[in-house]
Amino acid sequence: MRLEPIPNPSAARRLGLPALALVATLGVAMALALIAGANPLAVLGQIAKGALGSKLAILETLNRATPLIFTGLAVAVAFRAKLWNIGAEAQLYAGAIVAVLLGTGALGSPLVLPVSALAAMLAGAALLLGPVLLKTRLGVDEVVTTLLLNFIMLLFVSYLLEGPLKDPMGMGWPKSPALIPEARLPRIVDGLRLHWGFALAIIAAVVVWVIQTRTTLGFEIRAVGQNPEAARFAGMPVNTVLVKTALLSGGLAALAGWSEVAGLKGHLSSDLSPGFGYTGIIVAMLALLHPLGVILTAIFVAGIFVGSDAMSRAAGVPTYIADMLLATALLFMVLAILLTRVRVVRG
Amino acid sequence: MSEIVDILISASFWAAVIRIASPLILATMGELICERAGVLNLGIEGIMVIGAFTGWMAVYQGMPLWGGVAVAMAAGMLFGLLHSTLTVPFGLSQHVVGLGVTLLATASASFAYRLMLPEVTSPPKIQPFQPLSIPGLSDLPWIGTALSQTALTWAAFAVAGLVAFTLYRTPLGLAVRAVGENPAAVEAQGLSATGLRMGAVIVGSGLMAVGGAFLTLSAFSSFFFEMVNGRGWICIALVVFGAWKPGKAVLGAILFAAFDALQIRLQQTSLGAVLPYQLFLALPFILSILALILMSRRAEVPAALMVPYNKGER
C-alpha cells in the first residue's frame, strides 16, 4: 500500500473522519465495559453523569480541566514548532514550588499573586531552556532530556517536602506548609467551588491564540514547525524561535502547577499531579494543536477522568478505563487526521 | 573513599551490576533494532510495563517461567505491531504514536491488573527465576558469586550477541541497517522497506517486553505500577550513548548499572548520611542526560531515523 495526497479534501472528509475517531473510541469504551462484565451503555451513561450530571460534577470537571488547559497549551505551542516538550510534568512542579516559596509569607498582598505567577512562569521556562539549548547547540534530542527531567524533578520535590519545604505541622505527611490566604486564588463566584485559575487558563488560551495568529512570532513558530530548513533558508532565526517557543511552553506548563497550588490545594504534595503533564499531550493532539480547541478538549478529557472515577465506584469497572480511552482516542485521532489529507492506494 | 573501594572490589556488587544491567540490555537491544531500521520507538516505557505485567500474570496463573517470558514477548510484539502499523505504512509522527503506545500499554496493564485482582492491596508474589549453578564456575571464590545469575540474565547477554551477529554478519541485518539509512535503495533491491521496518519494530518491541518481564520474573517476583520507573527512557539514552552499536550499548548498560548499584550502596555509607537519598536516586537520570551530552558530537545517527518512507514520493 502507499499513500496518495488528496488535493482538495471535502468538508465531509475533514469533519467526518475525526468524528469517526471519537465514535470508534466510544466503541472501545463499550468493549472494555463488556470485558469488565458491566453493561456497556450503563457504563457510558455513568461516565457522562459523573462528569456532567450535577452542578457539583460540572464544577469538579472544570476544576480538573484547569491544569489540563495549561499543560495542553504548553504542548500545543511546542509541538507546533516541532519542539517535543514531554517535560510539562516537571515544569508544572517548578511552578508549584514557586507558588509555595513565595506564597507562604515571603510576600504579602497585593504583590504575592502576580509576582508568584510571573516567577512560576520564569521557573518553568528556565527548566525547558536547558533541553532546548542542548538541542540547538549540541543536537541532543529534547524528547529524552525532557522526559528524564520529569523523574529528576519528582525526586527534587520529594527532597523539598522532606527537607526545606516540610510542613512542621504535617504529622509526618510529606507536604509543604499551607499558603497564606493572600496567596490563594479566590473563587470566581462566591459559594461555587471553582477558582480563578480556570478563568486564567481561558485567558492564557486566548493569548496564545492571538500570539499564534496575529504576531510575527506565531508565524515563525509555524514556519519552523512545517519546515525548519526552508525557514532557515528564508532567513528566519530558527534557533531563536525555538528558544522563544520553549520559554512560552515551559511558562504555560508551570502555571498549571502554580494554579493547582494557589487555586485548589493550598499546599504542595508529591501527588499534586496525576500526570497532568503527560495528559496535556493528549489534550493538545485532540485539539489539533489549536489553542482555543485545547479549552474544549481539556474539559472533555477532564470529564472522562471525573466521570470514570464516579462510574468506577458505581459499576466496578476499573477507573484506568479513562487512561485507556484517552490513549486510544489519541491514536485514532492522529490516524483520522492523516486520512483527511491522504488516501490509501494499492501498490 | 575507602568505603567506595570496598564496594567496588566486592563480588556481590558486581553480581548486582550484572543483574541491574540485564533488563536494560534486553530493552536497549530492542530499541536499537527499531532505530537501526529507522524507527524511534517511544513506546518502550509502556511496552516494558506490559511485559512486566503479562509475564508475571501468566506465571501467577500457573504457566512456567519461560511461558511467562513468551507471553510477555507476544504482548510486546502486539504493541510493536500497533506502533509500526501507524508509523511505517501510515508514516505518522513517531513521537506522538510512541507516546500514545506508552500511555495505552501502561493503562492496559493497570486496567487488567485491577480487573483480575480487584480486591488485593499488595500484589501476590510468584516463584521467580533462581540463580543458575554452573559446575566449575560457581565454586570459584569471587567469580562464582559475581556470576551467580538467573537464566534470564544469561539470555540477555546471549540476545545482545545474537543481535550484534545478525546486524553485522547476516544479509537480514544488512537489510535492516540499510533501511535505516536509505529505504529507497532497499526497495530498489527488490526488498520491502515497509516489511523490514515493521518487522524490526515488532521484534524490538518483543525484546523490550522481555526486558520488562525480567523485573517481575527475575528481580522483584511481583508487579508494581511504578516498577519500570523511567528505565525505558534510560534505554533510549543508552542507544545514543552506544552510538547505535550493540557492543557499545551493552558496555553502556553495564557502566550505567554500575553507577546504579553504587548509588544504592553509597546510601548506606557516611556519604548517605550527609546527602539526601533523593540525590542518589536521581543519579541514573542525571547520568543519562550527561551521557547524551557527551555523545552528542560523535553520534552516527542512522540517516533515515524518524524519516517515514512512502513509495509514492520521490
DSSP states along A12-63 = HHHHHHHHHHHHHHHHHHHHHHHHTTS-HHHHHHHHHHHHHSSHHHHHHHHH
Domain that holds residue B194: 2-113+150-295
CA distance A148 to chain B (A): 6
With H, G, I as helix, E, B as strand and everything else as coil, classify residue A300: helix
Q: What whole-number distance in Å separates Cα of residue B282 and Cα of residue B28? A: 20
Q: What whole-number distance in Å separates Cα of residue B265 and Cα of residue A247? A: 39
Task: Indicate the pLDDT class of residue B59, thresholds 50, 70 and 90.
Answer: very high
CA distance A246 to chain B (A): 17
Residues 90-149 of A with CB under 8 A from B: 134, 138-141, 143-145, 147-149
Q: Which residue of B has its CA nearest to A344?
A: B90
The pLDDT score that the predictor gives to residue B120 is: 81
Do B107 and A320 make contact, defined as CB atoms within 8 angstroms? yes
Q: What whole-number distance in Å separates Cα of residue B141 and Cα of residue B146? A: 9
The answer as to whether B21 is a domain residue is yes
The pLDDT score that the predictor gives to residue B137 is: 81
Q: Which residue of A has its CA nearest to B238?
A: A144
Runs of H (alpha helix) within chain A: 11-35, 40-52, 55-80, 88-103, 112-133, 142-162, 196-214, 216-226, 228-233, 238-259, 276-286, 291-315, 321-341
Average pLDDT of the segment spanning A263-270:
93
- A186 pLDDT more than 50: yes
Quick: pLDDT tens for B240-299. Answer: 989 999 999 999 999 999 999 998 888 888 888 888 999 999 998 999 999 889 887 766
The answer as to whether B62 is a domain residue is yes
Count of the separate structural domains present in chain B: 1
- B170 pLDDT more than 50: yes
Average pLDDT over chain A, rounded to an integer:
93
Q: What is the share, in percent, of chain B residues with pLDDT greater than 70?
A: 98
Asked if B208 contacts B75 with a C-beta cutoff of 8 angstroms, the reply is: no
Higher pLDDT, A169 or A132: A132
Quick: pLDDT tens for A191-206. Answer: 788 999 999 999 999 9
Residues of A with Cβ-Cβ distance to B282 under 8 angstroms: 151-152, 155-156
Q: What whole-number distance in Å separates Cα of residue A347 and Cα of residue B236? A: 34
Judge whether A55 is closer than 8 Å to chain B, CB to CB: no
Q: Which residue of B has its CA nearest to A38?
A: B115
**Residue B66's domain is classified under what CATH number?**
1.10.3470
- Looking up cell 532546548 gives A132
Quick: pLDDT tens for B85-135. Answer: 999 999 999 999 999 999 999 999 999 999 999 888 888 999 999 988 888
* Whether the bond into B131 is cis, omega within 30 of 0: no
Average pLDDT of the segment spanning B136-146:
84
Judge whether A1 is closer than 8 Å to chain B, CB to CB: yes
Q: What whole-number distance in Å separates Cα of residue A157 and Cα of residue B281? A: 13
Residues of A with Cβ-Cβ distance to B296 under 8 angstroms: 134, 138-140
Q: Which of A143, A156, A324 sits opposite B104 (nearest CB)?
A: A324
The pLDDT score that the predictor gives to residue B314 is: 44
Q: Which residues contact B285 (CB under 8 A, 6 or more apart)?
A: A148, A149, A151, A152, A155, B230, B234
Residues of A with Cβ-Cβ distance to B96 under 8 angstroms: 281, 285, 330, 334
| Residues comprising chain B, all counted | 314
Task: Indicate the pLDDT class of residue B306, thresholds 50, 70 and 90.
Answer: confident
The pLDDT score that the predictor gives to residue B135 is: 82
The pLDDT score that the predictor gives to residue B128 is: 93
CA distance A190 to chain B (A): 38
Residues 76-115 of B with CB under 8 A from A: 82, 86, 89-93, 95-97, 99-101, 103-104, 106-108, 110-111, 114-115
Asked if A100 contacts A260 with a C-beta cutoff of 8 angstroms, the reply is: no
Average pLDDT of the segment spanning A7-33:
92
Q: Which of A158, A318, A328 sits opposite B278 (nearest CB)?
A: A158
- A138 pLDDT more than 50: yes
Q: What whole-number distance in Å separates Cα of residue A114 and Cα of residue A119? A: 9
Judge whether A274 is closer than 8 Å to chain B, CB to CB: no
Q: What whole-number distance in Å separates Cα of residue B80 and Cα of residue B200? A: 9
Going by the DSSP 8-state scheme, the letter that residue A104 receives in this structure is T
Do B276 and A145 make contact, defined as CB atoms within 8 angstroms? no
Query: Rounded to the nearest 5°, which phi and psi values hold at A219?
Result: -65, -45
Q: Which of B103, B240, B313 should one mutate to test binding to chain A, selecting the residue with the greatest count of A CBs within 10 A?
A: B103
Domain ranges of chain A: 69-287
